[in-house]
Amino acid sequence: MWLPCYALAVRNVRSVARGALVAVALLAGACDSETPLDTIADTSLDAAVWRADSRKIAATLPARVASFAPSEGADPFYTSYGAGPVFGASCAYASGDRQLIVRIESGNIRSRAMAALDPRGEAGTDAKFVSRQVKVHGRPALQRWSDGGRVGEVTFLVARRYLVEVRVVPAANESEAISLAETIDVTALEGLTLDGVTR
């Protein structure tokens, strides 16, 4: 089973000390290649710049995902949470009576991404879903599967700046969301230049 880098450092440590060591490892940057970033330092900028960035992200959404074709146009969005602005885009696709949603978030996503990828957090402990850590495009990801609702989901990071969520209903099997996510070319997203961010 894949273990995140901080888990490798603490798996043999007594559980009472594990939480503290994990926090220290994260704060020290031990997981720099995997840790999501808050990319907006100046949250007082005109929101128009983030709306423009959301349209850039929308342009990277795939024209098609396997047999799924767009059922709606790409939908750029901008909002703000306690940590600051979050922006991105989503698109709905269909293949017969099946639906696929691809959603990409950027901006100050660090806390949201860490929660979405944590198998011990709310995303990973929802009783309606079975969750497990996987990899997508070689990156740490969280897979969620609901057998009753035939819902397949997978969430992963791209370039530490983009939180990507893929959801398919009804899913053919528990791993279909992963397979579909693997077909999405993230090269354009990795090379995207945004104007409203500082890193």
| CATH number for 182 | 3.40.1000
Query: Do 99 and 149 belong to one domain?
Result: yes
- 129-167 residue pLDDT tens: 999 999 999 999 999 999 888 999 999 999 999 999 999
- 69-93 residue pLDDT tens: 999 999 999 999 988 999 999 999 9
- 174-191 residue pLDDT tens: 999 999 999 999 999 999
Query: Do 53 and 30 belong to one domain?
Result: no
Query: Do 64 and 30 belong to one domain?
Result: no
Query: Do 85 and 19 belong to one domain?
Result: no
- Give a yes or no: residue 83 inside a domain: yes
Domain housing 29: 1-34
Q: Which amino acid belongs to residue 82?
A: G
Helix, strand, coil percentages in the chain from 3-state DSSP, rounded to 5: 25, 35, 40
Number of domains forming the structure of the chain = 2
DSSP character string of 39-54: --S-TTS-THHHHHHH
- Give a yes or no: residue 69 inside a domain: yes
Query: Do 22 and 112 belong to one domain?
Result: no
pLDDT at 128: 85
Task: Indicate the pTM of the whole model.
Answer: 0.82
Confidence label for 9 from pLDDT (cuts 50, 70 and 90) = very low
- Give a yes or no: residue 170 inside a domain: yes
Query: Do 104 and 19 belong to one domain?
Result: no
Q: Which helix (H) or strand (E) holds 37?
A: none
- 84-123 residue pLDDT tens: 999 999 999 999 999 999 999 999 999 999 999 998 888 7
